[in-house]
């Protein structure tokens, strides 16, 4: 795992389409990146922070960018 923070634009990120935080009705291996961003559009930082506190955060959940792989 990298120890240096690398900055990337949202367009460069690969968001996991099977992430349970998306919800059971939404998460799917076939979910496209633009749909994930659409679903996340209404999220607030409070909701994401609460999810991390309740469910935990795992390093493999960190957003990734193809340019860093």
Residues 14-59: pLDDT tens digits? 888 988 888 899 999 999 999 999 998 888 888 888 888 888 877 6
Q: Structural domain tally of the chain? A: 1
Is the pTM above the cut of 0.85?
no
The secondary structure of residue 37, as a DSSP letter, is: H
Question: 33 lies in a domain?
Answer: yes
Question: 25 lies in a domain?
Answer: yes
Question: 4 lies in a domain?
Answer: no
Q: For the chain, how far is it from start to end, CA to CA, in angstroms?
A: 11
Question: 60 lies in a domain?
Answer: yes
DSSP helix/strand/coil, 52: helix
Q: Which domain holds residue 51?
A: 10-68
């Amino acid at each position: 795992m990298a120890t240096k923070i690398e900055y990337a634009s949202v367009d460069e990120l690969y968001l996991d389409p099977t992430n349970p935080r998306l919800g059971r009705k939404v998460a799917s291996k076939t979910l496209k990146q633009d749909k994930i961003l659409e679903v996340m559009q209404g999220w607030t930082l409070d909701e994401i922070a609460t999810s991390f506190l309740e469910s935990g955060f795992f390093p493999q959940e960190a957003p990734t960018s193809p340019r860093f792989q």
